[in-house]
Amino acid sequence: MKLVISADHAGFPLKEDVRAYLAQKGHEIVDLGAYTGDQPDDYPDFAEKVGEAIKAGVARRGILICGSGVGVCVAANKIPGIRAGMCHDTYSAHQGVEHDDMNVIVLGARIIASALAYECVDAFLAARFIANEERFTRRFKKVMAIEAKYMCGDGSSSPA
The residues annotated with a catalytic role in the active site are 66, 99
Distances (CA, A) of 50 to 64, 75, 99, 106, 115: 7, 11, 22, 11, 23
E strand segments, 20-160: 28-31, 61-66, 84-86, 104-108
CA-based end-to-end distance of the chain: 38
Give the residue from 46, 44, 27 showing the smallest Cα distance to 36: 46
